[in-house]
Amino acid sequence: MTIPAADFDAVVFDMDGVVTQTATVHAAAWKALFDAFLEERAQRSGEPFRPFDVESDYLPYVDGKARYDGVRDFLASRGVELPWGDPADPPDAETVCGLGNRKNDYFLRAVAEQGVRPFPTTVALIHQLHEAGVRTAIISASKNTSAILDAAGVRDLFAAQVDGTVAERLGLPGKPDPAVFVEAARRLGIAPPRAVVVEDAEAGVEAGHRGGFGLVVGVDRAGHAAALREHGADVVVKDLGEVTVT
């Protein structure tokens, strides 16, 4: 597929799974968190243990969402309700925030051990966009965005960044609400119809669609192309190496 530079002034990229190869690290951290929590809960209640599944649990309930929202939504899917707690809760607290903080510890430990790599095809596309005069921004629900982009060596590719820290400060709701994408476009001085959203999460493509963006590109690295289209992707590709700029 092609992005016509005459039709669009900006592209807003999601970070995890689109720019950086961290989506699988997130998924593994979520699985480690929820498997331990669910197994302990099953032992206490005598109910059967049903592990967290990346395809049926991570993609619809957690992927692309703010950390605490992901905890809440997945637990709700299993009929579990915990107190919200406080962001300062320790990782061993049995609250939504406590579990979210425990997941963050798993994720940061994995990043420290494995490092962070960008997708070369995404970086190449960004350079094509810049050469055509199309500006780029990045969004993420993560409060670790700056550290991850620095580790991947790609932070300077984006003229605007709206991450979990910015969203919290401005009171922006998480995806599938389009607020973070709209704020990124605003920071570039570009109206959503003149901008493209590139996302790999169902909640993310839904946000781009709801935000009135001119084109929503879904990146299917997990075999859920149909779900991406159902949630609002105009086009779905397996990798951004399939995208060119004209």
pTM confidence score: 0.83
Query: Burial letters for 209-229: b for 16+ Cβ neighbours within 10 Å, e otherwise?
Result: bbbebbbbbbbbebebeebbb
Catalytic residue, from 9, 16, 63, 234: name it.
Answer: 16
Asked if the model's pLDDT at residue 55 lies above 90, the reply is no
Q: What is the mean pLDDT of the chain?
A: 95
Model confidence at 99: pLDDT above 90? yes
What's the rounded Cα separation, in Å, for the pair 209 and 87? Answer: 30
Q: Binning pLDDT at 50, 70 and 90, where does residue 38 land?
A: very high
Q: Are 30 and 56 in contact (CB under 8 A)?
A: no
> What does the pLDDT average to over 193-206?
97
**Angle at the Cα of 218 from the Cα atoms of 216 and 224, rounded to 5 degrees:** 145
Residue 243 · residue 237 · CB < 8 Å: yes
Q: Domains, the chain, ranges and CATH?
A: 2-21+117-245 (3.40.50.1000), 24-114 (no CATH)
Mean pLDDT in residue range 102-109? 92
pLDDT at 70: 95
177 in catalytic set? no
Catalytic residue among 9, 14, 57, 234: 14
Q: Which residue reads 């699985």 in tokens?
A: 31
Q: What is the pLDDT of residues 134-160, one digit of tens each?
A: 999 999 999 899 989 998 999 999 999
Q: What integer pLDDT is reported at residue 18 of this predicted model?
A: 97
- Whether the per-residue pLDDT at 233 is higher than 90: the answer is yes
Q: Is 16 tagged catalytic?
A: yes
